[in-house]
Structure 1
Amino acid sequence: MQVVNWLPRTELPFAAPSRPELMEMPEPLVVAPVVPASVPAPAAAPVVAPTERVKIEVPRPSLASTRTNAKVEEDAAPVVAKSVPVPPPRFSLQLLRAGRCLLLVELPTGETFQTRDPAYLLLKDMLRAAGLPDSPQIIGEPVRWPLLARGTMDQGPEAARDFVQGFLSARLEDAPCVCVWLIGLPAVRFAGEANAESFNRELQVEGLGSVWALPGLELLMEEPQRKADVWQAMRRLMARWKESNE
């Protein structure tokens, strides 16, 4: 019979007490009407907000941003390149005298010439070809660079040039000569302020006068074809010291 709740008209003896919530009538269910999609929804009334005072905030740099800006400025600063120290040049030079000429010769082994050294025998042949005494006089000890193994003294290329030129100038004051032979690249570089391109040329050096740039004795032994260029240059200069000997 689909009876959900049943309430007696009179109180039944020995029956359980009635529950009052069952006597309440449920509220009718209100169904909202279906609005077609083509009908626009009514526009909501504009809500007028109360007038408020606009608060202006001034941005303050934080500690993190300050550090970031400082780092950017530091990175943008120009980088100053540190000068790399130039190692001192290494060479040994021997000064000799042959007639009215001085010879500043690179020592191939770094030690003083011995009478049977191949380089020394070649030097004697060159002197005989030039019409000079073939037994040159050795003047003083070899000039070795660097001067000191340790220390803070400047021993770079400029200091080496000043030392070699000062050494030669002092010897020229003791006994003048008509021409200085610079034999070997170290002699040409630090006494004549020139390079290998000046081999077989006559140069004028302040304080030293006329100098003749020559390849080293060891280079002449390794490359004998260079001797022809030396001989051609020698013929152009030979008259200078020959006249002096006469």
Structure 2
Amino acid sequence: MQESIRLDYLAAIGVVGWVPRQPLPHAAFRIPPELPAVPAEAEPNTEVTAVPAAKPLGAPKAAAAVASARAKIVVRPAKPEPVPAPVIAQSVEPAARPVPLESFYLQLWMAGPCALLIETSEPGLESASPGLRLLKDILRAVRLPQTPHLYADFQWPLNRNPQFDRSASAASLALQAFMQARLESEPAVSIGCFGAYPRLLLGPELDGQNLPYGREEALEHLPPAWFAPDLDTLMNSSSSKAQLWQQLKRIMSRWQAAQ
């Protein structure tokens, strides 16, 4: 019988103090009670002698049991309450809002297997503009079709909503997506970029000290691109035109093999 059930039975029948005759299974250890000493009775007409008080019955066994029980009791120190860590107040600075990029306008022209991304002012290259005549001269020199056709245009920002992200990073992602979508079905083997803002195809950095002019760059998910100053700068700078010509002589084999 379980100890708890046994105690409930004894309490129900009114038994308050009790000692088992033999060890009970599952019962907690109980210290035997001390029995009162039995007084000695004096015999009549005899001398009364002092009788020492009798030792309690089973005193050695009880004492040994009490000592053994106390030896098994392990007093564990109370755990100290955790001290809360001091809260260090930190000043939360609002995130800096990205600097908006100024507006610009690009036109995508196709000249055979070469795509041309040209920075220009709105409405862009006109049929009789000096910039378009210079572009035709460049195409004739590198053996590309001299009558390129306007394929698409890109204007930044994409909308007039002031809540729209207008940073250089957003413009770079938008221009890359624009070029990937437009050239997905076109057999372009090279991209010619004229101006500063087409450099966004390489990333959001527009540092004027690190111009990619005079070299060809590999692009992700796009044909390789070569970079040159805008058409107005080329018209007014003979050194820029000479540098562009040296660059085009090295890479013109790309579209010549495709024709």
TM interval, short-chain normalised: 0.5 to 0.7
User: CA contact under 8 A between 1:94 and 1:143: conserved in structure 2?
Assistant: yes
Write out per-residue CA displacement over residues 117-145 of structure 1, whole angstroms, 9 at most, x where no aligned residue. Answer: 111111111111110011101113x2110
Does residue 208 of structure 2 align to residue 208 of structure 1?
A: no
> Residue type of the partner of 2:195?
G
Root-mean-square deviation over aligned CA pairs: 2.0
> Residue type of the partner of 1:161?
S
1:74-223 aligned at under 5 Å gives the runs 80=93, 83-107=96-120, 109-140=121-152, 142-188=153-199, 190-193=200-203, 196-223=210-237
Q: What displacement does 1:98 show?
A: 0.4
**In 2, distance between residues paired with 1:148 and 1:171?**
19
User: CA contact under 8 A between 1:97 and 1:139: conserved in structure 2?
Assistant: yes
**In 2, distance between residues paired with 1:199 and 1:226?**
9
User: CA contact under 8 A between 1:103 and 1:182: conserved in structure 2?
Assistant: yes
Structure 1: which 5+ residue stretches go unaligned? 1-72
Write out per-residue CA displacement over residues 137-168 of structure 1, whole angstroms, 9 at most, x where no aligned residue. Answer: 1113x211012223312121111111111111
- Moved segments of 4+, more than 4 Å: none
> Residue type of the partner of 2:226?
W
> Residue type of the partner of 2:257?
E
Name the SS of the counterpart of 1:225 in structure 2: helix
Name the SS of the counterpart of 1:143 in structure 2: strand
Cα separation, partners in 2 of 1:82 and 1:164, compared to 1, 3 Å: closer
- TM-score under structure 2 length normalisation: 0.60
Does residue 250 of structure 2 align to residue 236 of structure 1?
A: yes
Q: What displacement does 1:209 show?
A: 2.8
**In 2, distance between residues paired with 1:117 and 1:173?**
30
User: CA contact under 8 A between 1:89 and 1:157: conserved in structure 2?
Assistant: no
Which one has a bigger Cα radius of gyration?
1
Structure 2: which 5+ residue stretches go unaligned? 1-87
User: CA contact under 8 A between 1:192 and 1:211: conserved in structure 2?
Assistant: no
> Residue type of the partner of 2:258?
S
- TM-score under structure 1 length normalisation: 0.63
**In 1, distance between residues paired with 2:98 and 2:218?**
31
Name the SS of the counterpart of 2:145 in structure 1: coil
Q: What displacement does 1:215 show?
A: 1.2
